[in-house]
Structure 1
Amino acid sequence: MHQMSQDMQRCIDACLRCYQACLGDAMTHCLETGGKHVEPKHFRLMLACAEICRTSAHFMLMNSEHHKHLCRECAEICDECARNCEQLGEMQACVDACRRCAEECRKMAA
């Protein structure tokens, strides 16, 4: 059985938490709040962030050599999502999850 490094496991966990935070906030908080929270650019960014986080976690779980490329892109998208959610306000859990994921993904991409 493949033994995963602690660094990779931390990154997987951060990615999955971010996936849950972004998708959950998009489908509950944003849809229920409306206004700027459901503007296409913001809503698409949240869904893109959730998806890249999920995909990055899957690639690491598969032990794919391509996970580094995905983690690099994931970090960029998470940074953008964190900034955007912070600007809108009332989304601190998403902001925190995105920042933590970006930090872990940058380490994994190095």
Structure 2
Amino acid sequence: MTHSTNDMQACIDACLACYRTCLSTAMHHCLEAGGPHTEPAHLRLMAACAEICRASAHIMLTGSDAHRHSCAACAEICAACSRDCERVGGMDACVAACRDCERLCREMGAGR
């Protein structure tokens, strides 16, 4: 199934918003807060989430059908990141951005 231009644009926007939020939160909030916010596994997951979101947006912008694969992976990583940010606490904006991106990427990855 082909996605509408509006669906694709909404997913691109969600990916870019999640990229900005995860990267900025990790580099500012987490590093400054310390404690569980700076656990290596947590920071690595946030970096991975930011990068897969950026890459998925890029692939969708190229118009390649490969976006289904990147979006499916993005949805899984965003789900893991939102759970971990919720576990650490005080990261509501990151949790919300990850969940929004996960939902839209899951639709793109499923080809709906």
Distance 1:33 1:59 in 2: 34
| 1:28-71 Cα shifts (integer Å, max 9, x gaps) | 00000011111110000000000000000000000111110000
Contiguous gaps of at least 5 residues in structure 2: none
TM-score (norm 2): 0.94
Please list, as runs of the form range in 1=range in 2, the aligned pairs for 1:1-40 lying within 5 A after superposition: 5-40=5-40
Contiguous gaps of at least 5 residues in structure 1: none
Distance 1:66 1:36 in 2: 36
| 1:57-88 Cα shifts (integer Å, max 9, x gaps) | 00000011111000000000000000000011
Identity value in percent: 62
Q: Aligned-pair RMSD on alpha carbons?
A: 0.8
List structure 1 segments (4+ residues) > 6 angstroms apart after TM superposition.
none
TM-score (norm 1): 0.96
Distance 2:36 2:109 in 1: 33
Aligned match of 2:57: 57
